[in-house]
Amino acid sequence: MEFALTPGQREIQARARRFAEEEVAPLAREADERGVFPRHLVPRMGALGFLAGPIEPAYGGAGLDYLSFALIYEELGRIDSSIRGFLAVHAGLVSLCIRDRGTEEQRRRYLPRLARGEWIGCYALTEPEAGSDVAGIQTTAREDGDSFVLSGEKIWITNGNIADLALVFATHDPAARHRGLCAFLLETATPGLRREPMPGHELGHRASDHARIVLDGVRVPQANILGEVGEGFQVAMTALDHGRLGVAAGAVGVGQACLDASVAFARARRQFGRRIGDFQMIQATLADMAADIEAARLLVYRAAWMKAEGLRATREVSIAKLFATEAAARAASEAVLIHGGRGYSNEYPVERYYRDIKGLQIYEGTSHIQRIVVARELIGGEG
């Protein structure tokens, strides 16, 4: 593994950084305060090649390697976790899963639209009684002629209210648990699908779109099954490997933003006649933050490199997601403390970073779940 980025990767990183700083940053605070997703940025991300980075050009993608795509996630995460979260769902959980598991007809129908930003994708897995326990999904899929009829409820579906295409998971045999799951490509204009914003006010990611989706006898053609009947669990795990890499890389961005803000504040803020950065306790905190973030970055880059090499990387992606989100949570907490009273309001962005990072510890499998994934990779399943 080369530690230096290639010229092409540096160009992608610079392109993502310019977009994040010049087009996302001016909107981030207002979008967070209003709780409105800046949808006009979606086709712009499509034009920049971000929406389907690793997907082949034949399907409208940019053909990027996974490390380049991780760099995009990182740069977006450094500015706005809501935009980064949109991309991880739209591209990581939906588009890449169609690329990996879809038929040629499904790829040609959906991937170019998703890549251009003409359509938006969402990943409809979580339910009131099923999240970490994917096999506990209660949404049913009843076969009826040349279609399946879906009935059930999904919650906390990112992009759900604005999506044109939903990757929906349902069971055709609840007794079979994970072996009974199926994955469906459901166009959201289909009759019987209702959606609404989640109630309450989110702690973080307030500019993200989070939906409750109700499926009331929704008909999906047999041709829209993703994979085979009974392969829904494998489809879900494939998608989560992509999504978790996006979360991990985004967490590195959040951690870096916390460090950058803390260093700038430590240089400018004076107490007792000195910069607070001249006090050893502040210096130790900044050094620990820097070490954590560099370690997280290398874990993310290694996982991305393994995926680019076609190697199995489930354990490495989970390790990266676990460490990077936990490290960024520590960095955000310290950043607020270093900023003192100023960090306790949205006058400074560290307040938003502190709220947003909790979501990254939860999305695509909580830190608890990542520890389970890693432990089972180490010792095997239950004996």
Residues labelled as active-site residues: 364
Helix 232-268 and helix 280-308, axial crossing angle in degrees, nearest 10: 150
Taking CA atoms, 209 is separated from 13, 37, 83, 162, 361, in Å, by 26, 6, 10, 7, 18
Cβ count near 270 (within 10 Å): 11
Given the DSSP bridges, would you call strands 165-171 and 121-124 parallel, antiparallel or unpaired?
Answer: parallel
Q: How far apart are CA 249 and CA 300, in angstroms?
A: 6
Amino acid in position 34: R
Q: Which residue's structure tokens are 């403390």?
A: 337
User: How long a stretch of residues is the chain?
Assistant: 383
The single-letter DSSP state of residue 174 is G
CA 220 from centroid of its chain's CA atoms: 26
Query: Residue 265 and residue 317: Cα distance in Å, rounded?
Result: 33
